[in-house]
Amino acid sequence: MLHIHLEEHSYDILIKRGAFQEVGTWVQQLWNKQRIAVITDSNVAPLYGEHIIEALSAAGFEATLLAVPAGENSKSLEQAAFLYDRLAQSGMTRSDGIIALGGGVIGDLAGFVASTYMRGIDFLQIPTTLLAQVDSSIGGKTAVNTSSAKNLVGTFAQPVGVMIDPDLLKSLSLKRVQEGIAEIIKSAAIADPELWQTLAGLKDEVDLLAHAEKVITASLKVKQKVVEEDPFDHGSRLTLNFGHTIGHGLERTAAFDTSHGEGVAMGMIMITRHAEAIGLTPKGTTAQLTKMIEKFHLPTKPREIEKEQLYQAITHDKKARGQQLKIILLEGIGQAKIVTIPTEEIKDYLL
């Protein structure tokens, strides 16, 4: 169990194999009897939808399952509007709650809907992908995409609780597991040399899943520390964006054919390679990063790159502020720094 301690809102993260089997009891400990809307997607609903509704009903809750189409395109204002209407039709009030059951898209969308419906109702996170379990389900960032940029419209809204059950990862494809591993590598690279050594000692993705509780807990501790220090993303929390400035640009220019994890993996390499070349990162860091990323079968460079298009995608990202851009560089494995550069200079990192 991890405890996220924030001045205005603290909550616990339960990390336990098999926890989902006791989901009704867990929710009983957090909420009074009330209406609950479980927001999920078309991939997760057939796997876990029936179990969670039965468990919540047995625990005395009035539960409804709301599923949106799987995929990044559902992280939209259109789907949010659809969910608002469904919540209103089912009589949801400010004393009721939402459970986000799914990956990062569902966590972001359901969290955004919860934080804006009737000016905010409580929500819980039950992430079903490794990426969501180690990253997006904690920290309180919610968002939807627009045609201009990823995560452009969003809120900071903390969940009441988070349940992380590594057994839910058994249904994932290898590619979806690799997405989460990219974020774990990022966490180790920016703040945890011990986690880096743990990853170095693992053989592959399957071996990592066998040690999932240990690896997930270590990765979450990195995020816990910076979220508690900087809940609204103005200072040290920016280090969590290592690889993301370029990674989000790669996602946008590939129209989401590049997954988030793949974008982050390539973004980490691209930004470190140039930083090393100009002396801002120690020699050999790119090689260490490349070896780790390749071990878990993630890409290290894009198949092709349209530099100007990628630059435009990056400068439309919310991380770009005016004529300056904050980028995250490594001072070595396990330590990151925030560097401010002229926005135009990011082009040098895109070669």
Residue ranges for the binding site for NAD(+)? 104-108, 128-129, 141, 150
Q: Tell me which residue of 162, 151, 150 sits closest to 100, measured CA to CA.
A: 162
> How many whole angstroms separate alpha carbon 98 and alpha carbon 105?
15
Please say whether the beta carbons of 42 and 70 come within 8 A: yes
C-beta neighbour count of 99 within 10 angstroms: 30
Annotated binding site for Zn(2+): 183, 244, 260
Q: Measure the CA–CA gap between 291 and 199, rounded to whole angstroms.
A: 11
Rounded to whole angstroms, the Cα distance separating 264 from 244 reads 5
> Can you say which residues are annotated as belonging to the binding site?
104-108, 128-129, 141, 150, 183, 244, 260
110: its two tokens? 């359901």
Rg (CA), the chain: 20
The CA-to-CA distance between both ends of the chain, in Å, stands at 43
What is the rounded distance in angstroms from the CA atom of residue 66 to the CA atom of residue 11? 25
Helices 285-295 & 174-191 angle (0-180, nearest 10): 150
